Chains A and B, each alone.
Chain A
Amino acid sequence: MAHDLDTVRAALAASRARLQPQAHVVATGVGYKTTRGARTDVLSIVCSVTEKMPLSSLAPRDRVPAAIDGIPTDVVATGVIRALQSRTARHRPAPGGVSIGHRAITAGTLGCLVRKGAQVFILSNNHVLANSNDARRGDAILQPGPHDGGRFPDDHIAELEDFVPISFAEPPSECGFARGLIALLNAGCRAITSNTRYRVVSIQPVGNRVDAAIARPLQPGLVKDEILEIGKISGPGSASLGTAIRKSGRTTGLTSGEVQQVDVDVNVQYGPGRLALFTDQLLAGPMSQGGDSGSAVLDGSNRLIGLLFAGSENSTIINRIEHVFSGLGVTL
């Protein structure tokens, strides 16, 4: 029995939620059923799957039924569907939101373009472009980053220009070894009747405001002044409590959130045992993962308000763009 298009669409709309969560179904739509390689005139609900499998190997709930509400289904193998522009791929010109990194790191996100006089620079984090202080001016920056297959010299896109050094805190000195050593030194001092004594101190951490760096593109044409899925930045902005925000990053793509806290002092881990205190940060809900560092953060009017650099299971931490600009001496 043939059905008209509206009936099939209605049936699909009603059953989509049931079909799509099945692990191997990547798309559903309406189309003519194909039987033994030939297109028929029968409208059907087409389920695109990553690969066709024998029914016996599928759990009953993962099987696409032969018909839904009396409308036949058609199962088509299409493979995994990817966005046309993979953020971890090589982009020339490269927009904001794609993979980038110093040649010694894994990968982060190209935030956006900024200017110092007439010169255009790529903005991202210190720990993305300057290997957490362990880099020199002129070091090679790769797009995509090394973790995403970026290699020198083929993917060399820019040279490190400048970064704001991150001040790391010394871990609190609770280790018995240090105390034992000091006791020994002091015993030595007493033995030689010196008035000098040694003490274990934990160095007072200095508050950082930004994790930021800029890189100079090898040629102006290698970069593009817009951000993937966001477009052009309308100007600089400033966030306050409740500001709706968006970011476009290498790992989680376009995500949105809201500024939940301002004036945040936060201790951020940079690998095991390496801690840095940041002050006057913005805190949003979870909207990022590893590799999204360096993403430009914009408000609802596409004004640039921050630079994403850290997060936890339930939070995203963002530098205020005012501090990024003053720290690096750049503008939009």
Chain B
Amino acid sequence: MKIVVAAMLALLLSWSGAVAGAEVSLSIQEAKARHAARILALPGVVSVGIGRDAQGREVIVIGLDRARPDTQARLPAELEGYRVRVQVIGAVKAQ
């Protein structure tokens, strides 16, 4: 089962990579929109948004419910050329 999932993920990643290579650059909003659903489906991912890093550059921010080494290992460092930052924000609940 795990092997099947890994193979499907590899296929998905290579496919999205191929698409990225074939296109001119996307806006960060478009880059986020293209990948958000897939990333949100990973275990423990609660949010995907656009923020800034310490240098003021726009980055794609992925929020986790807690430290998730397995999920973190599967998250890319970049999406469509935009840097990705991962941060633990906790489970989000209606207040």
Total number of B residues with any Cβ neighbor in A under 8 Å: 26
Q: In the complex, how many angstroms separate the beta carbon of B75 from the nearest chain A beta carbon?
A: 15
With A263-B50, A266-B63: A310-B29 Cβ-Cβ less than 8 Å: no
Q: Which of B36, B49, B92 contacts A262 (CB 8 A)?
A: B49
Q: Given the complex, which residues of A lie within 8 Å of B89, measured CB to CB?
A: 283, 312-315
Q: Which of B37, B40, B49, B94 contacts A211 (CB 8 A)?
A: B94
Could you give, for residues 284-323 of chain A, a 1 whenever the CB lies within 8 Å of some chain B CB and a 0 otherwise? Answer: 0000111111000000000000001111111101000000
When the two chains form their complex, are residues B91 and A266 in contact, meaning their CB atoms are under 8 A apart? Answer: no
Q: Which of B47, B52, B88, B92 contacts A242 (CB 8 A)?
A: B52
Task: Give chain B interface residues in 40-61, CB to chain A under 8 Å.
Answer: 40, 45-52, 58, 61
In whole angstroms, how far apart are the Cα atoms of A293 and B61 in the complex?
24
Q: Which of B65, B87, B95 contacts A293 (CB 8 A)?
A: B95
Q: Given the complex, which residues of A lie within 8 Å of B88, measured CB to CB?
A: 314
When the two chains form their complex, are residues A265 and B90 in contact, meaning their CB atoms are under 8 A apart? Answer: no
Name the residue on A nearest B32 (C-beta). A263
Q: Given the complex, which residues of A lie within 8 Å of B65, measured CB to CB?
A: 312
Q: In the complex, how many angstroms separate the beta carbon of B82 from the nearest chain A beta carbon?
A: 12
In whole angstroms, how far apart are the Cα atoms of A144 and B55 in the complex?
45
Q: Does A267 contact B (CB under 8 A)?
A: yes
With A265-B40, A266-B63: A241-B50 Cβ-Cβ less than 8 Å: yes
Most A C-beta atoms less than 10 A away, residue of B32, B40, B52, B95: B95
Name the residue on B nearest A309 (C-beta). B94
Q: Does A264 contact B (CB under 8 A)?
A: yes
Q: Given the complex, which residues of B lie within 8 Å of A260, measured CB to CB?
A: 51
Q: In the complex, how many angstroms separate the beta carbon of B44 from the nearest chain A beta carbon?
A: 10
Q: Does A24 contact B (CB under 8 A)?
A: no
When the two chains form their complex, are residues B40 and A267 in contact, meaning their CB atoms are under 8 A apart? Answer: yes
Q: Given the complex, which residues of A lie within 8 Å of B92, measured CB to CB?
A: 266-269, 310-312, 315, 317
With A315-B89, A315-B90: A264-B95 Cβ-Cβ less than 8 Å: no
Q: Does B2 contact A (CB under 8 A)?
A: no
When the two chains form their complex, are residues A270 and B90 in contact, meaning their CB atoms are under 8 A apart? Answer: no
With A313-B89, A313-B90, A315-B89: A266-B95 Cβ-Cβ less than 8 Å: no
Q: In the complex, how many angstroms separate the beta carbon of A274 from the nearest chain B beta carbon?
A: 9
With A290-B95, A309-B95: A314-B90 Cβ-Cβ less than 8 Å: yes
With A312-B89, A315-B63: A263-B49 Cβ-Cβ less than 8 Å: yes
Q: Given the complex, which residues of B lie within 8 Å of A268, measured CB to CB?
A: 92-94
Q: Which of A241, A261, A263, A270 contacts B94 (CB 8 A)?
A: A270
Task: Give chain A interface residues in 91-141, CB to chain B under 8 Å.
Answer: 108, 125, 127, 132
When the two chains form their complex, are residues B46 and A308 in contact, meaning their CB atoms are under 8 A apart? Answer: no
Q: Given the complex, which residues of B lie within 8 Å of A108, measured CB to CB?
A: 95
Task: Give chain A interface residues in 203-249, CB to chain B under 8 Å.
Answer: 211, 241-242
Q: In the complex, how many angstroms separate the beta carbon of A128 from the nearest chain B beta carbon?
A: 9
Q: Does A27 contact B (CB under 8 A)?
A: no
Name the residue on B nearest A267 (C-beta). B46
Q: Given the complex, which residues of A lie within 8 Å of B58, measured CB to CB?
A: 241
When the two chains form their complex, are residues A264 and B47 in contact, meaning their CB atoms are under 8 A apart? Answer: yes
Chain B residues within 8 Å of A, Cβ to Cβ: 29, 32, 36-37, 40, 45-52, 58, 61, 63, 65, 87-95
Q: Can you report 10 residue pairs joining A to B where beta carbons are below 8 Å apart?
A: A242-B52, A262-B51, A265-B37, A267-B45, A267-B92, A270-B93, A270-B94, A283-B49, A314-B90, A315-B92
* 16 extra A-B contacts, CB within 8 A, seeds A293-B94, A309-B94, A311-B95: A127-B94, A261-B49, A261-B51, A261-B61, A262-B51, A263-B49, A264-B49, A265-B40, A265-B49, A266-B63, A270-B93, A290-B95, A310-B94, A311-B92, A312-B90, A313-B90
Please name the 10 residue pairs, one residue from A and one from B, whose CB atoms are nearest each other, closest first: A264-B49, A312-B90, A261-B49, A313-B90, A266-B47, A293-B95, A261-B51, A315-B89, A312-B92, A314-B89
